[in-house]
Amino acid sequence: MGFLGKKVRLNRLLGRGDGRYLGVTVDHAMARGVLKGLDAIDDTIAKLVAGGPDAITMHKGIAQKCFERHAGAVPLVMKCSTFSPYQPDQDTVVCDVEEAVRLGADAVSIGCIVCGDSQPGQLAALARIAKEAGSAGMPLFAHIYPRGNRIDPKDRGTWENVAYAARVGAELGVDLVKVNYTGDRDSFAKVAEACPAMLVAAGGEPGKELKHYFQMTHDVLDAGGAGVTYGRFVFQYRDPVSLIKAIASMIHGNASVKEAIELLEQLERGT
C-alpha cells in the first residue's frame, strides 16, 4: 500500500510526464526573516499557484492558514526542518511525516547542512525522516548544502563539495535532492553524474540578473539535472505568475533562454 501511495504522489508532483521539476518555495521566514514577498503571504501564495509550478514548499502553519483554498490546485511539499539567522549551519526538525500526511502533502522536504560539526546529528535526522517517509509512501525531498564550519566559505560552491552533498541525499534514500548551482554547466554535470537521485538546483543568493537565472536553468537541464527550485527570485519578482510560466517553458517545453525571456516579456505585456 505504501508503494502505491508514493507512486500516486510522485505522479502528481511530476505530472507532466517528462521527469522534470519546477518547484517554488516560501519556507524562508524562520530561516532568514520575513522577507519582502513573504509579508503578504496569502497574496504571494495565490500568485504562485496561478503560475502553475509543479509544487510549492512551505511550513505546516502556513499550509494550515493560507493553503486550504488552493488545495488540489498545486501539489504541496511540507518543509520539515529549518535553520535560523542565529544557527545558520544547523537545520532543526520542526515537522514529521505524520503531520504532513494529515495536511495532504505530496512530499516532505528536509534541510541538511554538511561539512561541519553538526553534520552527524543532521544526518541522523534526515535518516529518521527518510524511514518515516518510506513507511508512509511519502516522497522525500532534501535541501543539502556544504556550508558547515569544517570547510572554507570560498569552497562551498566547488563541484566536489556540492557532489558530496548531493550524494549524501542519494545514499540516505532521498528522492529529489536540491543543491546549489556550481556556476557552470560542466561542473554541475559532474554533480549530476555523482547523484543517482533526481537533482535540482536552488536559486541561491539574490542579486543575479534575470537572464542569469534563465541561463542557469538551461545549463542545469543540459547538465543532466531534473530542474530547479526557486524562492526569492520568483516571489520577489514583479510578476511571479508570468515568471513561473516562462521558466516552465524551459523545463517542460525545452524553450531556449531567448525564447523564455521573450515569452516572459509577452506575458507581462499581456500579448
Residues annotated as catalytic (active site), given as ranges? 27, 145, 178
Which three cell numbers mark 133? 517517509
Number of Cβ within 10 Å of residue 262's Cβ equals 14
Using only C-alpha atoms, the chain has a radius of gyration, in whole angstroms, of 17
- Extract the C-alpha cell encoding 66: 493560507
Q: Which residues contact 77 (CB under 8 A, 6 or more apart)?
A: 13, 23, 55, 56, 57, 58, 105, 106, 107, 108, 109, 141
| Angle (CA) 97 11 237, round 5° | 80
In DSSP terms, 111 is beta-bridged to 143
- Neighbour count for residue 154 (Cβ, 10 Å): 7
Residue 77: φ, ψ to 5°: -110, 125
DSSP 133-157: HHHHT--EEEEEE--STTS-GGGTT
